């Protein structure tokens, strides 16, 4: 017999031709084998998955039932605790029982048994006439077990008289007082209602659920979706206190079937999968290109935004090393980014004179104690020019919320500082203008007041000349009469000069000074001017000064301007009042500020028409005035001047009618110059 030729004995060309047919055949067989095995494997996996899902669902249902029962039992134990403590009387028991019954339809009744077995209270009125001896034997045994073990216990399933299947459970909670049994609470469950109320509807549609006793006898069943097929089953034991009940589930689903037309379906599925893969690849490429384009646009936009910012941005890592500086910051300090990146303190833009302050704030930033409130400091440019900046520091975090450093926002506030200085100069000019306006208002009266001492001087000198020209008088008589006349003329000249000097000092424009001044001396100096303002309206002026008041730290001329404005307003407010009410009182006394500092309290009290509420809201606003010819700047200037001295100008109603303006200035020794606002 001639042996069949082996594949390896064939020529090389024939061998190659053979492999061209054999290899595809092997691949086809492998493909068919895979196609044949996949459904079988899928069937097994589906069967296993269904079984595992049933086990998981059964476990979840078992835990749900246990949780619901434990919650009701815990409520019953809480009621028992309140009864044992004497906090719950039988009259209130039915209310608590009704609340518990409304929480679950699986509860049939809740009862309270006395120690002798009689029913004290019950949600079921039929139980009130029953003694414990009339209860089913299973219930009596469960209660005895609970009392002996001092632990709540369940009874065995019990059947109703009209039903052959056991459908009830009793749960007994014994109560003790001073280690003595005083009674028990009983909670009765419907076994069938436990399944109806505690098992989800979707689970009941897919499974038949049974409750079995310890002897595997059926207690209750729920089969909303029909009887189980016995393919997928599982059971769990409900370990109830004193009893054991089994929860068994039987799925209504059968074993999975093999797909019909397996090969055709596989080819179609593979073809569809290939088309879907091509489509998914095309979609992924388009999305990637769109994302890259959006990223480029975002980077371009952020770069343009950073380049157009006027706020300097500076990022530092946790060690304080500069990791980023935007063009605005580089332009601000006149340094390229290459000189700043990677730099550790001291920084090249730190001013040498402020280095200690920089180091202190830098330590606060690294310690994380710096607040987000901005602080002012001084930076220097590459050419050494100093300029003020306002810095805001905040934590720099990544996408996970982890802090990676600190981000600082730097504002060049040179223009703001210049604007503040300009505003200060304008305020000073405005105050000087207000003083000139005040002097203009009392110019005529001032001329009259100066005329008196000048007339007196003229009279005294004329009399002296007459005495000197009288030949009948001797030299001793001349000296006796000339000396007092010349002394009085000198006193009147000093008085006129003092008035001229005070007016000149009041209207002279100069820088505000801070020095120790006496408020009593200021009022004494202003008393003639105040009297001049009060003369036309016949207003009486009273001044009450507490003796021994210390000096305050302030500017004499500004305080004179405040007092002169306030007294003039007070006099004008009383012009329409009866003469008896035209009384202006100025008082100085000791007081304490809101911060506990000793201070001098100045009060200007009038009995005028007062200030209405709608006017009081805008009283200190610039350009607001109740006078027809007023500029509306007087009180605004007064408030600014008092705040310059560290005080606060306020007003209240005078109980006797009119208004009281007051301000308190700290003593000079408790308000050093460094503490005053600049």
Are both 456 and 491 inside the same structural domain?
A: yes
DSSP state at residue 550: P
For position 455, which CATH number holds?
1.10.287
> Given phi > 0 = left and psi -120 to 50 = alpha, else beta, which region is 410?
beta
Q: Could you tell me if residue 99 is inside a domain?
A: yes
Are both 407 and 436 inside the same structural domain?
A: no
Give the chain's end-to-end CA distance (angstroms, integer): 125
CA distance 317 to 403: 9
CA distance 584 to 606: 5
Q: Are 635 and 572 in contact (CB under 8 A)?
A: no
The strands making up 386-397's β-sheet, listed across from edge to edge, are 322-325, 312-317, 403-412, 386-397, 375-380
- Residue 653 backbone dihedrals phi, psi, to 5 degrees: -80, 140
CA distance 481 to 487: 11
Range of the domain at 201: 50-253
Are both 440 and 507 inside the same structural domain?
A: yes
Of the residues 363, 383, 411, which one is the last residue of a structural domain?
411
DSSP state at residue 591: E
User: β-strands 312-317, 322-325: how paired?
Assistant: antiparallel
Q: Could you tell me if residue 301 is inside a domain?
A: yes
Are both 106 and 176 inside the same structural domain?
A: yes
Q: Are 72 and 214 in contact (CB under 8 A)?
A: no
CA distance 381 to 375: 19
Of the residues 351, 386, 411, which one is the last residue of a structural domain?
411
Are both 356 and 420 inside the same structural domain?
A: no
Q: Could you tell me if residue 381 is inside a domain?
A: yes
DSSP state at residue 400: T
How confident is the chain (678 residues) per 10-residue block, as mean pLDDT?
Answer: 48 56 60 63 76 86 85 86 81 82 82 85 73 79 87 84 69 86 87 83 86 84 84 84 84 69 60 73 85 84 71 83 86 85 84 80 72 77 85 81 82 79 70 59 52 60 66 58 65 61 53 79 84 83 90 83 85 87 92 86 90 72 50 64 83 88 84 36
Going by C-beta distance under 8 Å and a sequence separation of 6 or more, which residues neighbour residue 546? 588, 589, 590
**Token duo for residue 286:** 């388009």
Q: Could you tell me if residue 195 is inside a domain?
A: yes
Q: How far is CA 105 from the centre of its chain?
A: 46
> What is residue 629's three-state secondary structure?
coil
Are both 462 and 487 inside the same structural domain?
A: yes
What is the gyration radius of the CA atoms in the chain, in angstroms? Answer: 52
> What is residue 339's three-state secondary structure?
helix
Number of domains observed in the structure of the chain: 5
Q: Could you tell me if residue 1 is inside a domain?
A: no
Q: Could you tell me if residue 36 is inside a domain?
A: no
User: β-strands 540-545, 583-592: how paired?
Assistant: parallel
**Token duo for residue 284:** 């992924």
Are both 496 and 424 inside the same structural domain?
A: yes
CA distance 423 to 436: 20
**ω before 248 within 30° of 0 (cis)?**
no
- Residue 633 backbone dihedrals phi, psi, to 5 degrees: -115, -10
Are both 528 and 501 inside the same structural domain?
A: no
54: nearest Cα among 226, 250, 291: 250
Going by C-beta distance under 8 Å and a sequence separation of 6 or more, which residues neighbour residue 477? 467
For position 67, which CATH number holds?
3.30.450.20
> What is residue 202's three-state secondary structure?
helix
Are both 432 and 571 inside the same structural domain?
A: no
Are both 459 and 347 inside the same structural domain?
A: no
CA distance 645 to 677: 7
For position 613, which CATH number holds?
3.30.565.10
Are both 475 and 502 inside the same structural domain?
A: yes
- Can you name the residues that pair with 515 across neighbouring β-strands? 554
Are both 483 and 617 inside the same structural domain?
A: no
What are the start-end ranges of the E strands in 461-571?
515-517, 540-545, 552-554
> What is residue 393's three-state secondary structure?
strand
Within 10 angstroms of residue 213's Cβ, the number of other Cβ atoms is: 16
Q: Could you tell me if residue 91 is inside a domain?
A: yes
Q: Could you tell me if residue 13 is inside a domain?
A: no
Q: Are 607 and 583 in contact (CB under 8 A)?
A: yes
At residue 4, the pLDDT reads 45
Q: Which residue has the tokens 């994380």?
A: 368
At residue 605, the pLDDT reads 93
Of the residues 411, 445, 469, which one is the last residue of a structural domain?
411
């Amino acid at each position: 017999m001639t042996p069949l030729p082996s594949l390896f004995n064939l020529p090389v060309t024939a061998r190659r031709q053979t492999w061209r047919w054999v290899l595809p055949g092997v691949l086809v067989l492998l493909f068919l084998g895979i196609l044949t095995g996949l459904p079988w494997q899928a069937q097994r996996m589906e069967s296993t998955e269904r079984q595992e899902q049933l086990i998981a669902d059964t476990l979840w249902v078992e835990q749900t039932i246990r949780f619901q029962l434990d919650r009701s039992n815990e409520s019953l134990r809480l009621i028992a605790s309140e009864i044992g403590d004497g906090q719950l009387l039988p009259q209130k028991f039915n209310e608590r029982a009704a609340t518990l019954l409304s929480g679950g339809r699986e509860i049939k009744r809740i009862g309270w048994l006395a120690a002798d077995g009689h029913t004290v209270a019950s949600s079921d009125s039929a139980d009130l006439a029953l003694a414990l001896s009339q209860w089913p034997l299973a219930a009596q045994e469960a209660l005895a077990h609970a009392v002996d073990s001092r632990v709540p216990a369940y009874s065995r399933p019990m059947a109703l008289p009209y039903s052959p299947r056991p459908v009830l459970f009793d749960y007994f909670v014994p109560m003790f007082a001073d280690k003595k049994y005083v009674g028990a609470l009983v909670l009765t469950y419907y076994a069938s209602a436990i399944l109806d109320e505690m098992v989800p509807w979707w689970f009941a549609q897919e499974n038949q659920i049974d409750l079995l006793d310890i002897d595997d006898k059926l207690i209750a069943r729920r089969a909303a979706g029909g009887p189980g097929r016995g393919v997928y089953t599982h059971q769990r034991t409900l370990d109830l206190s004193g009893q054991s009940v089994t929860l068994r589930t039987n799925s209504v689903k059968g074993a999975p079937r093999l797909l019909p037309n397996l090969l055709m379906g596989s080819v179609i599925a593979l073809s569809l999968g290939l088309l879907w893969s091509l489509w998914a690849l095309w979609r992924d490429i388009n999305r990637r290109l769109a994302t890259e384009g959006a990223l480029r646009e975002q980077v371009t936009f952020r770069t343009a935004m950073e380049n157009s910012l006027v706020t300097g941005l500076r990022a530092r890592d946790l060690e304080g090393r500069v990791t980023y500086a935007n063009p605005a910051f580089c332009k601000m300090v006149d340094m390229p980014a290459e000189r700043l990146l990677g730099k550790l303190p001291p920084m090249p833009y730190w001013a040498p004179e402020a280095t200690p302050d920089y180091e202190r704030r830098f330590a606060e930033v690294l310690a994380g104690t710096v607040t987000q409130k901005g602080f002012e400091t001084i930076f220097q440019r590459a050419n050494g020019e100093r300029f003020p900046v306002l810095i805001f520091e905040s934590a720099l975090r990544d996408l996970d919320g982890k802090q990676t450093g600190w981000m600082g926002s730097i504002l060049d506030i040179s223009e703001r500082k210049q604007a503040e200085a300009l505003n200060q100069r304008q305020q000073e000019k405005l105050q000087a203008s207000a003083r000139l306006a005040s002097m203009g208002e009392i110019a005529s009266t001032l001329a009259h007041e100066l005329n008196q001492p000048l007339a007196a001087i003229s009279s005294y000198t004329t009399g002296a000349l007459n005495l000197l020209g009288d030949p009948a008088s001797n030299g001793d008589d001349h000296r006796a009469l000339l000396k007092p006349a010349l002394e009085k003329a000198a006193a009147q000249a000093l008085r006129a000069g003092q008035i001229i000097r005070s007016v000149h000092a009041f209207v002279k424009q100069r820088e505000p000074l801070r020095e120790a001044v006496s408020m009593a001396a200021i009022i004494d100096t202003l008393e003639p001017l105040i009297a001049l303002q009060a003369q036309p309206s016949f207003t009486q002026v009273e001044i009450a000064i507490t003796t021994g008041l210390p000096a305050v730290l302030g500017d004499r001329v500004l305080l004179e301007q405040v007092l002169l404005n306030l007294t003039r307003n007070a006099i004008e407010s009383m012009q329409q009042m009866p003469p008896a009410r035209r009384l202006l009182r100025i008082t100085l006394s000791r007081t304490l500020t809101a911060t506990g500092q000793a201070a001098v309290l100045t009060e200007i009290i009038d009995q005028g028409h007062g200030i209405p509420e709608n006017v009081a809201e805008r009283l200190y606003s610039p350009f607001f005035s109740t006078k027809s010819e007023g500029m509306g700047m007087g009180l605004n200037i007064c408030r600014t001047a008092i705040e310059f001295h560290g005080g606060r100008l306020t007003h209240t109603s005078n109980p006797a009618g009119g208004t009281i303006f007051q301000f308190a200035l700290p003593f000079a020794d408790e308000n050093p110059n460094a503490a005053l606002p600049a």
